[in-house]
Every structure is written in structure tokens, then in C-alpha cells.
Amino acid sequence: MCGIAGLYLKNRALERQLGALFAPMLIELSDRGPDSAGVAVYHDPIDEDGLKLTLYHPDPAFDWDGLTEFLEEEAQLSAEIQPIASHAVLISDGDEASLRPVIEGYDPELQIMSLGRVIEIYKEVGLPAEVCARFGIGSLQGSHAIGHTRMATESAVTTAGSHPFSTGLDLCLVHNGSLSNHNWLRAQIERRFGIHCRTENDTEVAAAYLTAKLLDGLSLHQALEAAIGDLDGFYTFCVGTGAGFAVLRDPIACKPAVLAETADWVAMASEYRALTGLPGVERAKVWEPQPATVYSWGAAA
């Protein structure tokens, strides 16, 4: 099963309420996915020449100050680290090529959940309500959020196997369904683009596929149109980029999705009941996205 949800704000005045509007959407989808939950939130963009990373370490007592010191003194990279439960947001003036080997070499259990200028990803094993509380999702501000409640089918119930998946700068993807040609695609993408998937999860391959297409110069909308031909399996995707938001269902369209739009926001969810708390939903345009049709907003087109 699995539940997915996304909220893209068109009215900037609502940005202070992003988390307050989004957390109840995700929690409403708990019985579609009680194993784990995750949220990608787009907020607080940093300067052009810096990088924002979300890091995860399974040890609650992990010494984040030690990592800051190591990055600054040993690796000569600036580091500003803000721990949030098992995760931490790191802002640095380093680039991916300099930061990734240093971070992954520092502690093999340290994982990079997201990289970019805008995105932060928080995901954990547990009920969506617990995960939202742990990371304070309800009080987050920002322009858009994408989330997932997981009922695992393709790989183990772990934090790393939870969604959203991010494989490129500021890009993330959540998925309801299962892909059938992900092993073949994983090898292709790694060989042709050097994009390395870090888990056995099928969804990570879909995220890597989009990253590869964006590197090829396609827009997110075009990349998703190409995905209809190249990805085999069942999927409803909700995808975010730094300033874009998109939804795609496979041609068979077994996996449910509802879209709703007002002048102030665009929302998608596996089921309508997740949208009932949004302001003005009674007057929203509500529809079921067509099979094999890309819907995109913002800088996705």
C-alpha cells in the first residue's frame, strides 16, 4: 500500500503554516503506511555557493559537535550543524565532491539524506504521528513539502529504506507502488551517469532516473514524460525540486491519487481524506490525475 502526500503553496503568506497544514495530511495516511514516515521540506534557501545537507546517524548520542570540528579543522570546510533528533542539517561552503567523501569517511553509519540549497529530508521508522512529533514537522515553514507513509514491500523497514529519496541536488521523490525493472535501470544509470544508488530500494532508482534526466538537460516535466516509457511497474509519484512540484501515475493507474488546487495551494494525496484540513478545500478543484499524464507546477515545466 503506502500513502503519499504533497503540498505546494502558491500563496507565500501561507508559508509560515506549511508544517501545520502538512503534518495532518501525512498522519491521516497512517493506516496506508504505519512502518515508517518521511518528509522533504523546501525552506530557508542558502547562498548560491553553499550547500545544505541533511545527515542521519542511528546513534541518538552521536557527537555532532565532533563532526563540526572534524570538518572545520581536518577537512578545512566550513560547517554549521543543527541537530534535530536523529538527523542534523549541515550548511557548508564545500561542494558535494569535497563533502561527501569526508562525511562518509568520518563514520560509516553517517548517511546523507539530502543535498541541495533548499531541501531538508527527515525520515524514520515509526508511526507517522511519532515521526512528525520527533522532527517537529508541524512547526516547519517553507514553500512546499512532500511526504510518505510506508508499508514496506520491496526492501527492509529501515530509516535508509524510507522515503522520500533524494539522489540529486534539491530533487526528491515519494512513491506508492513497486517498480519491476529497477535492477536493470540501477545498473544503466550507474554506468551512464555515475549516479550511485545507496540502497536496494526500487524508489531510489526512480529518483536516480530523474536526476539523470535533469543532468541531461530535461525539465522535470520532460523527465517525467520520459519516465512513462522507461520505468516499468506500478507507481504514483510525487516529486519536488527547489522550486517545482509534479505528480505522475503509471499507465495502468492502480495506485490511487487525488489532486486538489485553489488559488493558494496545490495538494496531492493517496486519498481525499488527507486533504480535508486544508483551508478552502470545500471550494477547491478536486480531481483524479489521469494515467500516464504529467502534472507540474512552479519551475517544473
Partner 1 sequence: MSAGAANLIELDLAESSLRAVNQTLQRHNGKGEDGHYRILRPNGAHALACGLDAPLTVEIAGHAGYYCAGMNQAARVTIAGNAGPGVAENMMSGVVRVQGDASQYAGASGHGGLLVIEGNASSRCGISMKGIDIVVLGDVGHMSAFMAQAGRLVVLGDVGSDFGDSIYEAVLYVRGRVASLGADCIEKDMQDEHRNDLADLLRLAGIEAETGEFRRYGSARQLYHFKTDHAGAY
Among 81, 85, 228, 286, binds partner 1 (CB under 8 A): 286
Q: What is the dihedral of CA 202, 105, 45, 81, to 10 degrees?
A: 130
Binding status of residue 64 toward partner 1 by CB under 8 A: no
Binding status of residue 59 toward partner 1 by CB under 8 A: no
Can you tell me the distance from the alpha carbon of 79 to that of 76, in angstroms, rounded to the nearest whole number? 9
Largest Cα separation within the chain, whole Å, is 57
Per-residue binding string, partner 1, 235-274, x by CB under 8 A, is: -----------------xxx-x--------------xxxx
Q: Which is nearer to partner 1, 129 or 281 (CB)?
A: 281
Alpha helices in the chain (DSSP H): 18-28, 64-69, 96-106, 128-135, 182-193, 202-215, 220-230
Binding status of residue 276 toward partner 1 by CB under 8 A: yes
Residues 181-200 within binding reach of partner 1 (CB under 8 A): none
Can you tell me the distance from the alpha carbon of 117 to that of 114, in angstroms, rounded to the nearest whole number? 10
Q: Quick check: is 2 catalytic? A: yes
Looking at residue 61, its amino acid is: A
The distance of closest approach from Cβ of residue 151 to partner 1 in the complex, given in angstroms and rounded to an integer, is: 16
Among 184, 288, 299, 301, binds partner 1 (CB under 8 A): 288
Binding status of residue 291 toward partner 1 by CB under 8 A: yes
Q: Which is nearer to partner 1, 109 or 288 (CB)?
A: 288
The distance of closest approach from Cβ of residue 272 to partner 1 in the complex, given in angstroms and rounded to an integer, is: 4
Can you tell me the distance from the alpha carbon of 161 to that of 203, in angstroms, rounded to the nearest whole number? 9
Helical axes 18-28 vs 128-135, angle rounded to 10°? 160
Can you tell me the distance from the alpha carbon of 77 to that of 88, in angstroms, rounded to the nearest whole number? 17
Q: Which is nearer to partner 1, 192 or 273 (CB)?
A: 273
Which three cell numbers mark 182? Answer: 529497477
Q: Which is nearer to partner 1, 24 or 161 (CB)?
A: 24
3-state secondary structure of 92: strand
Which residues form the interface with partner 1 (CB under 8 A)? 252-254, 256, 271-276, 286-288, 290-291
Which are the catalytic amino acids? Answer: 2
